[in-house]
Structure 1
Amino acid sequence: MPFDAVLFDCDGVLVDSERITNAVLRSMLRELGWEISEEEGFRRFVGRALTDEVGVIEEHTGFVVTDAWIAEFRRRRNDALVTDLQPIPGAIDAVQQIAKLYEGRIAVASGADRHKIELQLAKVGLDEVFAGQVYSGMETAFSKPAPDVYLAAAAGLGIDPARAVVVEDTPTGVQAGVAAGAVVLGYCPPDSFAHHEPAVLLGAGATRTFSSMAVLGDLIQSF
């Protein structure tokens, strides 16, 4: 086997959640007086922990972000995810194939809070395949682009992170995987500004990029 384990990001890799989450955030920012476009919302916030971006919100709105405001965002976000969330096309089959190939040595390592990760995995039917191997950047000292969550996932699987392959879709996530010492594959579906161009992920340190989850298993095995 070319690797000892496969570590997946969640949002934008396993589940098509970014448009849903960003729409909720932009709605709440408009309530504070910031008329932010969908494209700018993606550019500023996707791939980053909201708690790390409170300064940007305060700069544009004058509103001091509170724990209560973040809690309300998460409540609205979770309600929207329960209603509208769908898996990334081909992701379920790819995960099942890779889980079988690697005899369960897979994990989710996301910058999101644990409740969101587990809600999303359950919604699309991937909770059992990742049972016991879900890691949240909110539970580590530093979130992405720091490597902490990927180091935690590798430790949980009992492997050297340099023997892992990471599947990511944002520059911050790619940087986190690279900093952990892993090989990083960048997911770049075509015709979607919700995802970054291949050159952006390669510039962040991805070894290769791919545009369809249908090829992921074969791509991993090609190393």
Structure 2
Amino acid sequence: MSVDLVIFDCDGVLVDSEIISCRVYAQALSRYGYPITADQVHDRFLGRSSRETRLEVERELGRMLPDDFQAQLNAELFGELETSLEPMPHIDEALDAILQPVCVASSGPLQKISVSLNRVGLTQRFAPHIFSATQVNRGKPAPDLFLYAAMQMGAEPSRCLVVEDSVAGVTAARAAGMVALGFAGGSHCRPGHGESLRHAGAQASFVDMRQLYDIISQF
């Protein structure tokens, strides 16, 4: 294939944020009567949109979370991100080497993506080509977000390559007819994570962003 567009997930790919997000989300849910650990949030909700995560939690609780739950969660999470978030090691080097157009397609809301990219100085690398699951009907693992990103960028899905760190994201990329690469180098990734991503459909997995250019070149 010829790669016309490289689509990056944000959390766990561009920024090393998943440990922060899982911890804050677990604390918020536990506070409202849904006891859960950061590891359990990782296992169940990694890569999925906040909207779909909330609906699943509310179904299990049998009641709605408070109307301002998302606002409270965002305030806590954005505060943590603004003070402690780090870019994924060597991401600038990887982006410098890529010749194709790039964009971001993340399960997070646009405000969270903006906070994250601004914090690590990556906004100008991608703006205005930044897309969120809030802009489509279904989040990952459905293909909607990646298909929307390809349409906005004027690229054929079959000529798009997606860099993802979650099984839900890899599944979404494959459902969209795109090649998926699994990144397993984030601080949240456990032993065997790359194998899980390949099992979900990733064409290859890698743990160092300096490997990305060579992998893309193979296509």
Question: Taking structure 2 as the reference length, what is the TM-score of the superposition?
Answer: 0.92
Contact 2:16 2:186 in 1 (8 A): no
Unaligned runs of 5+ in 2: none
Q: 1:203 to 1:63 in 2, by over 3 A?
A: same
Secondary structure at the aligned position of 2:180 is classed as strand
| 1:29 is the counterpart of 2:25 | no
CA distance in structure 2 between the aligned counterparts of 1:191 and 1:112, rounded to whole angstroms = 19
Count of residue pairs brought into register by the alignment: 219
Contact 1:174 1:204 in 2 (8 A): yes
CA distance in structure 1 between the aligned counterparts of 2:27 and 2:59, rounded to whole angstroms = 17
Q: Which amino acid aligns with 2:208?
A: S
CA distance in structure 2 between the aligned counterparts of 1:86 and 1:217, rounded to whole angstroms = 22
Q: Which amino acid aligns with 1:182?
A: M
Question: Taking structure 1 as the reference length, what is the TM-score of the superposition?
Answer: 0.90
Cα deviation for residue 35 of structure 1 reads: 3.8
Contact 2:50 2:107 in 1 (8 A): no
CA distance in structure 2 between the aligned counterparts of 1:15 and 1:196, rounded to whole angstroms = 21
Q: Which amino acid aligns with 2:168?
A: T
Unaligned runs of 5+ in 1: none
Q: 1:29 to 1:195 in 2, by over 3 A?
A: farther
Match of 1:127 in 2: 123
Identity %: 37
CA offsets 1:2-30 (integer angstroms, 9 cap, x no match): 31110100000000111111111111123
Cα deviation for residue 61 of structure 1 reads: 5.3
Task: Give matches, 1:40-79, under 5 Å.
Answer: 40-58=40-58, 64-79=64-79
Match of 2:185 among 180, 184, 189: 189
CA distance in structure 1 between the aligned counterparts of 2:132 and 2:188, rounded to whole angstroms = 26
Q: 1:194 to 1:114 in 2, by over 3 A?
A: farther
Please identify, of 9-18 and 190-199, the stretch whose mean Cα deviation from structure 2 is larger: 190-199
CA distance in structure 1 between the aligned counterparts of 2:121 and 2:137, rounded to whole angstroms = 29
Q: Which amino acid aligns with 1:66?
A: P
Cα deviation for residue 160 of structure 1 reads: 0.4
Match of 1:199 among 190, 195, 200: 195
Match of 1:111 in 2: 107
| 1:17 is the counterpart of 2:17 | yes
| 1:38 is the counterpart of 2:38 | yes
Contact 1:7 1:106 in 2 (8 A): yes
Cα deviation for residue 56 of structure 1 reads: 4.2
Q: Which amino acid aligns with 2:207?
A: S
Match of 1:140 among 133, 136, 143: 136
Please identify, of 27-36 and 158-167, the stretch whose mean Cα deviation from structure 2 is larger: 27-36
CA offsets 1:84-121 (integer angstroms, 9 cap, x no match): 110111112212321xx22xx11001111011111111
Q: 1:110 to 1:190 in 2, by over 3 A?
A: closer
Contact 2:22 2:39 in 1 (8 A): no
Q: 1:186 to 1:195 in 2, by over 3 A?
A: farther
Cα deviation for residue 63 of structure 1 reads: 5.2
Aligned-residue RMSD, C-alpha: 2.1
Secondary structure at the aligned position of 2:36 is classed as coil
Contact 2:17 2:81 in 1 (8 A): yes
